[in-house]
Structure 1
Amino acid sequence: MYLTRLRLNTARSGARRLLSSPQVIHAAVLSGFPELLPTAAHTPRVLWRLDRDAAAEVLLYIVSPHRPDLTHLVEQAGWPAAAASGTPGWQTHAYAPFLERLEKGAVWNFRLTANPVHYARTRDDQATTKRTAHTTPRHQLQWLLRRQGAGGFRIAGASPAEGAAGQAGEAQVVVRDQRTVNFAKKGAGGRRVTLATVTYDGRLEVTDPDALRHVLTAGIGRAKAYGCGLMTLAPVG
Structure 2
Amino acid sequence: MYLTRFRFNTNSSGGRRLLSSPQVLHAAVMGCFPEMLPSESGGPRVLWRVDRNARAEVFLYVVSPTRPLMDHLAEQAGWKDLDDPDRVWKSHDYAGFLDRLAEGQTWGFRLTANPVHSIRRKDGEPTKVTAHVTPRHQAGWLLQRQDACGFAIVRKNPDQRLLPGEDEYELTVHDRNAAGFDKPDPRSERQGKRMRVPIVRATFDGRLTVTDPDALRRVLSSGLGRAKAYGCGLMTLAPVEDRR
Normalised by the length of structure 2, the TM-score is 0.87
- Separation in structure 1 between the aligned mates of residue 146 and residue 86 of structure 2, nearest angstrom: 39
Moved more, 58-67 or 41-50: 41-50
The answer on whether the counterparts of 2:44 and 2:221 sit within 8 Å (CA) in structure 1 is: no
The answer on whether the counterparts of 2:44 and 2:222 sit within 8 Å (CA) in structure 1 is: no
Runs of 4+ aligned structure 1 residues displaced above 4 Å come to 85-88, 186-190
- Separation in structure 1 between the aligned mates of residue 143 and residue 41 of structure 2, nearest angstrom: 33
Partner of 2:38: 38
Partner of 1:163: none
Partner of 1:162: none
Partner of 2:112: 113
The AA in structure 2 aligned to 1:35 is E
- Separation in structure 1 between the aligned mates of residue 124 and residue 9 of structure 2, nearest angstrom: 48
- Separation in structure 2 between the aligned mates of residue 139 and residue 128 of structure 1, nearest angstrom: 22
Structure 1, gaps ≥5 residues long: 159-166
Partner of 1:212: 216
Give how far 1:39 is off.
2.6
Partner of 2:162: none
Partner of 1:153: 151
The answer on whether the counterparts of 1:36 and 1:43 sit within 8 Å (CA) in structure 2 is: no
- Separation in structure 1 between the aligned mates of residue 85 and residue 10 of structure 2, nearest angstrom: 22
Does 2:237 match 1:233? yes
Q: Per the alignment, do residues 41 and 187 of structure 1 end up closer, same or farther by CA in structure 2, a change over 3 Å counting?
A: farther
- Separation in structure 1 between the aligned mates of residue 175 and residue 66 of structure 2, nearest angstrom: 30
Moved more, 99-108 or 176-185: 176-185
- Separation in structure 1 between the aligned mates of residue 80 and residue 55 of structure 2, nearest angstrom: 21
The answer on whether the counterparts of 1:142 and 1:168 sit within 8 Å (CA) in structure 2 is: no
Give how far 1:126 is off.
5.5
Partner of 1:180: 178
User: What is the RMSD of the two structures over their aligned residues, measured on CA atoms?
Assistant: 2.1
| Equivalenced residues, count | 227
Percent of residue pairs identical? 59
The answer on whether the counterparts of 1:114 and 1:222 sit within 8 Å (CA) in structure 2 is: yes
Partner of 1:53: 53
Give how far 1:79 is off.
1.3
> What do the CA deviations read for 1:72-101 (whole angstroms, capped 9, x no partner)?
110011012336x75582010010111111
Structure 2, gaps ≥5 residues long: 157-164, 187-192
